[in-house]
Structure 1
């Protein structure tokens, strides 16, 4: 899913130039002929942000937190099956590396166009964390329609996130 010198895998998604998040798509393995450097939105530091890259035929849509940020036409060519090691959030030109500046969670590829216009991301708001004796109490405003919440933790600030919420009470 990234470009190695002389080789273009089918999909380069979630890479950054330090200002914006982009995706590129190849059908031939030698260029980003379907669409190149398609902007998904600007970078928001220190906040969870939902980016979506959607293709419907030859139309491409970029979303940031459910808001349509860009739209373009490409081709209907099939995406090249990649060779080599797939990578998400990384792009290499042969001389320069571009990285996604943060964590990527719940990456999904679908065979349908899930969105072609603005949609509701339903992110919790007003998160409050109160430290206690070997515990943290979390509270937030309920999200309409939510049937549950995924709580993740890290053992250090900025560390790897884990799903194993020990003795979570929701």
Structure 2
């Protein structure tokens, strides 16, 4: 193997290892931090600027409950099952300077809303055929019945939390 090929292969393996190494903690935490760098603006304008940071949740699909077979029906219950999805609502950490009316110092106003868990179920469908199952009292033939269709409503579950703060300094 040539030395250039070996060097290229080593660079690719190093890049993959670095990518996998940084993705691990974010997946374990369930959120990806997103800082907004405003330090350069603060230096260029020579003034206090807001501090912004966010957390974006990672969406994880779950395994759907399969169709349930019910005696006396031709079609299974929940023909289109609901898909569970877990993730979260995005988080926000923002602090903005608020100048004193009577003085030189700065106060701040801040909002801290951490990312919160969110569980959801997609809508599903439950239908029944216009025929019953074969019946022994009808010589093994099905009988006619009214067709049934139902939509399983989507479900959202979450608990949110946020803090509004004021105080001295940034």
Q: Tell me which interval the TM-score lies in, with the shorter structure as reference length.
A: under 0.3
TM-score, length basis structure 1: 0.25
Give 1 or 2: higher helix fraction: 2
